[in-house]
Amino acid sequence: MDIKLYIILAITLFTIGMIGVLVRRNAIIIFMCVELMLNAVNLLLVAFSKMHALNPSLSPTVASDAQIFVFFIMVVAAAEVSVGLAIIVMMYRNVHTVDVNFLNRLKH
Determine, following the binding rule CB under 8 A, whether residue 18 of this chain makes contact with other proteins.
yes
Question: CB within 8 A of 70, min separation 6: which ones?
Answer: 42, 45, 46
By beta-carbon proximity to other proteins, the closer residue of 78 and 106 is: 106
Report CA dihedral (85, 82, 68, 30) to the nearest 10 degrees.
0
* Residues 74-103 close enough to bind other proteins by CB under 8 A: 100-101, 103
By beta-carbon proximity to other proteins, the closer residue of 93 and 105 is: 105
Determine, following the binding rule CB under 8 A, whether residue 25 of this chain makes contact with other proteins.
yes
